Every structure is written in C-alpha cells, then in structure tokens.
A and B are shown apart, each in its own frame.
Chain A
C-alpha cells in the first residue's frame, strides 16, 4: 500500500469514527436540569454520577430521538435546600430558573430536601416537566400525592427509595435479623428534625413495638446542624439501649458517632440515613471511630457489591473518573435516572412529555441496583430484596476501614459484627 493510500484510508477511518458522534454532537442537545444541594453529599455525589452517565451516553453517540441522535447536556443548579436555615423558596426559585431560563427539557435529581421536593411538585406539574427524583427526598408523601392525583402529577417519578419501604421492607427485617442473631431487643431512636426522618422514626417506633422490641423512648428529634448528642447518648446508655437508630442527613451526625465511640455506649449504631458515615472518607475522618456503624445507602451501587452485572461496572467507572468509590445515597440512582430517561426517550421517539411519560411508565430494565420498574399509579420505583425483582437497597457496616454490605442477604458480602464493648443479649 502506498503512503498516499494509507493516508487516505487513515483519514477515512478517522472520519468514520468522528461522524456518528459528531452528528450527535452537532444536533441540538437535550437539556437535563439538575436542582441539587451541591454542598452536601446527596447533592455532589448525584452531580458526579449524572455527569458520568451523560459522558458515557454522549461518548456512545447520544440519545436517539426518532431518526436523530442528540447529545445530553447537564445543567446543575445549587438549591442549597440541605443547608440549615435556607428557606424552601430558594429551591423553588432554582427549579423555576432551570425551567424558564435554562430551558431544561427534563428535571433530574432534586430538590433534595423532602419539604422542598413536595413544594416543587405543583411547579413541575404546571410546566409539564418530567422530573425524576433521584436523591435526598425520602418522604412517602411524595408518591402518595402522585397516587392521589395521578393525572395532575403524572410527570413526576422517583427512582430512589422512600421512607416507608426503607422502614418496613429493609430496616425492620434487618433489625429482626440482628435481634435473632445477637438476642437484642431494646431500641433507641434519634432523628433529625426533617419530614422524612420524623415520619420514619414514628413508623419505626410503632412497627418495632408491635414486633416485640422495647422502644425505650419517643424518637429524640435533633435540629438540623446540632453539634452535641451527649444527653441523648447518655439517656440511651442509661435506659439500656442495644441498638440506636440514627436518621440524619446532616454532616454533624459524624459528631454523634464520635461521641458514641468515646462514651463506649454499648449499643449498635444503625444509620437508617446517616450521611456522614456513608462516605468512603468517613473512616479516616473519624480515625476509625465509625467502626461497627451500620449505614443504609438506600440503593445498591452506592457501595461496592455484586447486586447486578452493572453494579461493579458502575462502581469501577465512578472510581476511574473520580478516584474513589461511589460515596453514598443518590449516586447510583442519579446515574440510573439518566439511562432510564434515555431509554424512555428512545422508545417514545420524541421529547414530548406525554409520550415520554407513557414510555417511562413501561420502563423495565436491569440497572445498577436491580430491576427498574415504576409503580403504574404512583410512579415510585418498585423496591425488592431481590435484584431480579426490583430495586434493592444496601445496608453496610464499617469493618476495618471497609464498607461491608450486610443486607439484603441476596447481595451481602459479610456478616454484622458487634463492638467489643458490647455483649450479645441473653
């Protein structure tokens, strides 16, 4: 082959490589607006995961809308709704800005705080914007409202978990397992003063009392930003608590665990939601004082496990891009939301909200955290303890610096351990 022919072939190959992607990149992008509280774990991890999904999809040629391939564009706005003292109206303004100024085709992510997510429902419905809630907001009221007014709120989906399932479907069975294994039955509940935590705490108290556990007090409610938990921990110790449920999304929950360790409270700390303990950096930050803390990261894939073939693929891709494992709740669900949206748009062949909604409702794909389907009435992802049946959660325990998945049993990679200053019951 002469040099000229070789050059010609090389140029042709290069063009062939560039053209499909180039075609997609030249087309008008599909704008995904992401309202997130970016200064907090549930915001920045969601942003990172969405960026990863968008990059992967664009690198593979974009989203097929009818006969056209279009790239995705992510527009993130800081809602600040997880910050103490920031009014809900700030988050609403952020969502409105995404819709009116940024011309977002879809809203994915938040608002992150339950109160803000609930307040944004009317706004999203008014503008007929398909929204997929992926992080933060866990209040069962969200999908209950969608179920009550299915026509008005048909554009609103949630692909992450919700408090009711987390309590009844995951936390209660996990606690009963712990109770059976170590003969423990005394529970103390500490929650943050936010809608999902208060609701979750109340439900848990009621259910565990019915299951024969002694719930030692009403859930102790701490204001967002609380920095001292000594009185609650002393009370738990005095009353003989064996498991302490912690439901807090504020970073200050790390202080609670440090105090728990320093006081050597003989009770297993179980973070139904405990943002501080979810992150891989938690171990180093607490100098190992978080050992034995259990944490629910809501969806599989937020900590390494082999829930589905896609789980570790996602974990490794995240690690490659950001130099760390997925950090906590909101990561895998935000990543999956972009893929679910792509899938729905391609099946609808259009960006028309009504057509995409119809396609979204028919979603059935094996994702990072199991089979992804939405409840036809409430648009809430269908949960399960088996990844083949639905979206599975993950409870891990900090053991020697590693996040070891201990629940649900189908994806567990290790067993629960008790701290050395705590004995199993009789």
Chain B
C-alpha cells in the first residue's frame, strides 16, 4: 500500500514539475531550459516577500507568480525571439538564462537549507495504515486541479484555442490572424506560471535550494522525453511511469539507484521509441 500511495504522490510531484515545460514546448516548440531556474526563482521571491517584506502569504504568492510569469514572457520578448526556430540556439540561450538566474540567486545569498515556505496544512493522516501528511495529499489534489485548469484554458478559452492552433499548424494559424510571437510570449508566461505554481506547492515539502533548479529541469526533460515532447497526455503518463519506477526502485533495489531511473528512462525511450509514448514528431519524420 505504501508503494501505491507514495507512488501516486511522487508521480503527481513529477507531473507538476514537468507541466510548464511540456506546455511551452507543446504550444511554441520552444525548449525552455530555464524552467528549473524559474521554479526556484518563484520560491525565493515568495520567501523574500514573506520574510523580508512581511507581506501576507496570499499576496506574496500572487506577486511571485506574476513576477515569474512576467520573467518568462520577457525572456521570449527580449532574447528568444531573436533566435526563434533555431532549436540548438534556443536550448543554449534558455539554459544560459537559467544558469544566470540560479547562480545569480546563489551569489545573492541563496545558500543552505534554511530558506523554507510553510505548509498549507499541518498534520498527517493514516491511509490504510500508511502515514501521509496533508501537504502531500494536497500535492496530488492541486496537481490534478492544475492539469484540469490548464486543459480547460487551452480547450475552452480564446487565448487557449489560439495557442492550440499555433501548436497544431503555425502557418494556418498565421493566416487566421493569430500573432505567432504574441502567442509564444503567452505560452512562455503560462509555462513559467505553471513552474511557479509547482514551486509554491512543492517547495514547502523541503527547502528552497539552487540545486532544486537543476533537479526539476532534469525531471521535466525526462518526463517530456518519455511522454513524447509536447504531449500532455504523454507527460502525465510518463510522470506516473517514472514516479512509480522510482518508488519501486527505492523499495526493492535501494534509494541510491532511484537517481538513475529518470536517466535510464530517457536512454531507453531514445533507443526503443525516440518519439516517446505519445510523441508524433519523430515518427512523422521517420516516415517521410
């Protein structure tokens, strides 16, 4: 039972980490390698607003979400727009921005494990004899809610449908008057917002540390590659595959092997099914 419960929690955690990354790639074909840095940035800004400025939590959280969304949008408007379409340059540039953010935070004093955000709800409950704290249960609930909200946004709102149109066929969308760059800015802002929301939900479980940025990026990339780049369904399924594989590895092989699960999943996917579980891109290229 403990494997099932903590497997679900771990999978929801991974899905939350990867959602923003897969959203941006799915809509704009932009590999945002600053995703992990934006995650840490959101946590740190919220911490500063809470503990240094003294704002109430709701306001601090809202401001940090808005700030990180703005940073994401600005990243596209000022830097990535110049290299749009050049995949390698996009990866290098976004990774460099991420490095600058993370190492800038470290230089600015984000060191050690004493930067933390409070739990939303304290306490724990026994589920079938397995002790689980409320915050982890919230991770699963809020993760599901976030996926639902994003699904609704993309499929039921004008902006969401425009984003979807761009993802499906950029040229056709352009002929219908949808501005490609504006949509890319919107997707970057939305993806960054998702990273920030994930940070505010997940960071109370641990500490705000620079290293989390690298960890989140690796996990997001692993989930997206296994699920198929840009596929939401694939990403969620991959989060469950990797999440459960990690928990099973910890339980039966040893915790120190769990670190290689995500990397092994990337390697195996690239060998056996390069387009990932639900990816279409590579398959089409191969057929052509």
Contacts and interface: CB of A to CB of B under 8 A. Distances in A.
B6 to A, nearest CB: 5
Interface stretch (B68-76, B109-117, B176-184, B220-228): B109-117
30 contacts: A39-B111, A41-B112, A44-B112, A85-B214, A221-B256, A223-B258, A227-B206, A228-B6, A231-B2, A231-B6, A231-B247, A231-B251, A237-B131, A251-B112, A251-B207, A251-B211, A254-B206, A255-B206, A255-B207, A258-B206, A262-B133, A263-B133, A276-B112, A279-B112, A281-B112, A281-B114, A284-B114, A285-B115, A285-B116, A287-B118
Nearest to A237: B131
Contact of A285 (B114, B124, B133): B114
Interface string A232-258: 101101000000000000011111001
Given A223-B255, A231-B2, A262 B116 contact: no
A282 interface: yes
B280 interface: no
B30 interface: no
Given A221-B255, A255-B205, A264-B124, A227 B131 contact: no
Nearest to A45: B112
Interface string B200-211: 000001110111
> What interface size band does chain A fall in?
35 or more
Given A234-B130, A234-B131, A287-B118, A226 B205 contact: no
B113 to A, nearest CB: 3
B256 A254 contact: no
Contacts of B116: 254, 285-287
Given A252-B206, A264-B131, A231 B112 contact: no
Contacts of B205: 227, 255, 258
A193 B256 contact: yes
Contact of B6 (A44, A230, A253): A230
A161 to B, nearest CB: 21
A78 to B, nearest CB: 10
Nearest to B219: A227
A235 B9 CA distance: 17
Contact of A254 (B113, B118, B124, B210): B113
B10 interface: yes
A406 B184 CA distance: 59
B255 A83 contact: no
A252 B251 contact: no
A275 B113 contact: yes
B96 interface: no
A40 interface: yes
A231 B250 contact: yes
Nearest to B210: A39
Interface string B102-136: 00001000011111101100011000001101010
Contacts of B115: 285
B254 interface: yes
Contacts of A84: 211, 214
Interface in B1-19: 2-3, 6, 9-10, 13
B171 interface: no
Contacts of A258: 205-206
> Considering residues B6, B113, B123, B133, which has the most beta carbons from chain A within 10 angstroms of its beta carbon?
B113
B111 A263 contact: no
B259 interface: yes
> Considering residues A83, A221, A251, A258, which has the most beta carbons from chain B within 10 angstroms of its beta carbon?
A251
B215 interface: yes
A232 B247 CA distance: 11
Report the 4 A-B pairs with minimum CB-CB distance, sorted nearest first. A251-B113, A262-B133, A281-B114, A223-B259
Interface in B253-269: 254-256, 258-259
A286 B117 CA distance: 9
Contacts of B112: 40-41, 44, 251, 276, 279, 281
A263 B2 CA distance: 13
Contacts of B3: 231
A253 B250 CA distance: 17
Contacts of B206: 227, 252, 254-255, 258
Contacts of B119: 287
A349 interface: no
Contacts of B210: 39
A231 B212 CA distance: 20
Contacts of B247: 231
B113 A222 contact: no
